[in-house]
Amino acid sequence: MSAPRPSMVPTTPMAIAPPAASASSAARAVPEAVRDAVAAALAAAGTRVRRDEPLARHTSFRIGGPADLFVAAMSVPELQAVLRAAHAYGYPVFFLGGGTNLLVSDRGVRGLVVALAKPFDFVEWELGGDGGALRVGAAVPFKRLVSQTVAAGLAGLEFGEGIPGTIGGGLLMNAGAFGGEIGRVVTALEAVDEGGERVLLPRERLGFAYRRMALPTRAVITAVCLRLARGDAAVLAAAVADAKARRDRHQPKGHPNAGSIFKNPPGAFAGRLIEEAGLKGARLGEAMFSERHANFIVNLGRARAADVQGLIDLATRAVRRQRGIELEPEVRFVGEW
């Protein structure tokens, strides 16, 4: 399958004015005109905008149709300007991290996909005898932060060995493993809300729960402040080695995937339920429930989002029928279905 080539938007002046009211219905009624206007406004402000960017390039599943518009913001002021422009037109925006927990539809995303570029990949350290206070950019890879903090003798993130994606996405998902989760070490978040305003959110305003966080307002996380305790280097190294060994033993390798497809229901394991339903190894098109761990769906090559969705539906119905348990997807559905 040859992916469409991304194109740059023309730097023509704004073709239509932002709608005064009912912005979202305007976006629905004239999507092409609104897209052109938003693209032109962004380009005129100096932002590099890509049209029809294939999202399969940005997801660990290697699946996903094009985003109408795509921007990788280089700074907080640029991010603010981008969000203000989209907001003025009522144009839908999706925030993309590392794309490791997403199932993007084959039709792609009608709207603007915003990612954070390299300047959001930074860590500021303040180390003391009893631990460290860190300010971490949202584009920092989770795995790298784990190895850096462990190397610095700081405890609290060692559970995250092997979790791909960015810190921003990890926060939104309250990523966790082996009894740990990132929410426990967060003291505050920096973000830009949909209207383009900067917000600082203390921990009390972040509703961390199992594999989710409830931001009080829709916003792009730009940085996070973490508090980590001083740890014993040997104990931390052993925890990381143990996490790595467990992943090596149980998780599929070699085929693109998005990690666990379903959340574990209370008191049960989604993988075991899928296996008991006889679906381990079940295949639809080029998507397959992994032979190694049934809660992973792997892309054998050219899987479509529709194939993955079909398997998700199949498992949901089978587990409901056989066990009366409602499986809830952990992976997030994105785009036009």
Q: Which residues are catalytic?
A: 211, 260, 330
Can you read off the two tokens belonging to residue 313?
């539906």
Q: How far is the CB of 253 from ligand FAD (least distance, A)?
A: 9
Its sign, for the CA torsion 144, 191, 257, 273, is positive
Q: How far is the CB of 243 from ligand FAD (least distance, A)?
A: 9
> Are residues 294 and 250 in contact, defined by beta-carbon separation less than 8 angstroms?
no
Residue closer to ligand FAD (CB basis): 18 or 265: 265
Q: Which one of the spans 149-157, 165-173, 283-291, 310-318 is the region binding ligand FAD (CB under 6 A)?
A: 165-173
- How many other β-carbons are positioned within 10 Å of the β-carbon of residue 295? 25
Q: How far is the CB of 174 from ligand FAD (least distance, A)?
A: 7
- How many other β-carbons are positioned within 10 Å of the β-carbon of residue 274? 28
What is d(CA 232, CA 207) in angstroms, rounded to the nearest whole number?
Answer: 30
Q: How far is the CB of 19 from ligand FAD (least distance, A)?
A: 25
Instruction: Select the residue interacting with ligand FAD from 92, 111, 156, 164 (CB under 6 A).
Output: 164
Q: How far is the CB of 251 from ligand FAD (least distance, A)?
A: 6
What length does the chain have?
337
Residues 170-199 that bind ligand FAD (CB under 6 A): 170, 172-173, 175-177
Residues 249-278 that bind ligand FAD (CB under 6 A): 257-259
Q: Please, which residues have CB within 8 angstroms of residue 176's CB and are 6 or more apart in sequence?
A: 159, 160, 182, 183, 211
What is d(CA 12, CA 238) in angstroms, rounded to the nearest whole number?
Answer: 58
> Is 109 a residue that touches ligand FAD (CB under 6 A)?
no
Residue closer to ligand FAD (CB basis): 60 or 147: 60
Residue closer to ligand FAD (CB basis): 60 or 187: 60
Residues 122-151 that bind ligand FAD (CB under 6 A): 138, 142
Q: Please, which residues have CB within 8 angstroms of residue 273's CB and are 6 or more apart in sequence?
A: 265, 319, 323, 325, 327
Can you read off the two tokens belonging to residue 204?
């009390």
Per DSSP, what are the bridge partners of residue 193?
A: 219
Instruction: Select the residue interacting with ligand FAD from 169, 183, 231, 271 (CB under 6 A).
Output: 169
Residue of this chain nearest to ligand FAD (CB atom): 169
Pairing mode, if any, of strands 212-214 and 219-230? unpaired
Q: How far is the CB of 324 from ligand FAD (least distance, A)?
A: 26
Q: Which one of the spans 22-30, 85-93, 168-176, 229-237 is the region binding ligand FAD (CB under 6 A)?
A: 168-176
Residues 45-104 that bind ligand FAD (CB under 6 A): 60, 95-102
Instruction: Select the residue interacting with ligand FAD from 72, 221, 228, 273 (CB under 6 A).
Output: 221
> Are residues 167 and 142 in contact, defined by beta-carbon separation less than 8 angstroms?
yes
Could you tell me which of 45, 35, 34 has the C-alpha nearest to residue 11?
A: 45
Q: How far is the CB of 30 from ligand FAD (least distance, A)?
A: 25
Q: Please, which residues have CB within 8 angstroms of residue 27's CB and are 6 or more apart in sequence?
A: 34, 89, 90, 91, 92, 111
Residue closer to ligand FAD (CB basis): 40 or 76: 76
Residue closer to ligand FAD (CB basis): 211 or 323: 211
Residue closer to ligand FAD (CB basis): 221 or 274: 221
Question: Could you tell me where the DSSP H helices lie in the chain?
Answer: 23-29, 31-44, 76-88, 142-151, 167-172, 233-250, 270-276, 305-323
Residue closer to ligand FAD (CB basis): 230 or 247: 247
Contacts with ligand FAD, residue ranges (CB under 6 A): 60, 95-102, 116, 138, 142, 163-166, 168-170, 172-173, 175-177, 211, 220-221, 257-259, 332
